[in-house]
Copies of this chain bind each other. A is one copy, B any other.
């Protein structure tokens, strides 16, 4: 692949991620093109349709997340620290942009499914170890962590997005959520309501037939 083509691809994927985050997966491709600073033809030449673009982006992000999961397991001695690191990495990647794709049945691509399986397996291992270590609250599951990372990494509405242009605030708030807002001296927190949310719960929710409205 020619160098300039690869450069365009990168710019388009980066722009697509941001636009999908802000406007959802059905955002106008025009916006992506404009944000990427390329001509419309450059996008349409590479991607036959929206789905092709979404799939390429999903693969790109997922493979990076998979790498992050393994790296966290490998490089962090403490099990809870590894979970923490994974959550921060998922937020940095802005997995929220493509989470619906990863969870919904739409994914036909075999490569994607395998990567997803490996990644969620790695995450389960991290969490299991953290539970064993006694550091991670038992009522917290993989789904809770993923949702936390998605919710905190979505761009803020309106002018507020400027508040966190570089992501400092995102990591600050992730840290606060991971550790809690209360001081150490506080009495034991009441157990959070509900059951631990698993990865499978997310998939199940996303898979139910869509009521379009």
Contacts and interface: CB of A to CB of B under 8 A. Distances in A.
Secondary structure at the A interface, as helix, strand, loop or mixed, is helix
A94 B186 CA distance: 29
Nearest to A180: B180
A176 B140 contact: yes
B104 A159 contact: yes
A1 interface: no
Contact of A177 (B80, B154, B177): B177
A188 B208 CA distance: 42
A110 interface: no
A25 B156 CA distance: 13
Given A147-B173, A159-B206, A136 B181 contact: yes
A189 B205 CA distance: 33
Interface string A142-155: 00100110111010
Interface stretch (A5-13, A64-72, A111-119, A164-172): A164-172
19 contacts: A24-B157, A99-B160, A104-B158, A134-B185, A135-B186, A140-B181, A147-B173, A151-B152, A151-B156, A158-B206, A163-B201, A169-B197, A176-B192, A177-B177, A178-B182, A179-B180, A179-B189, A179-B192, A180-B180
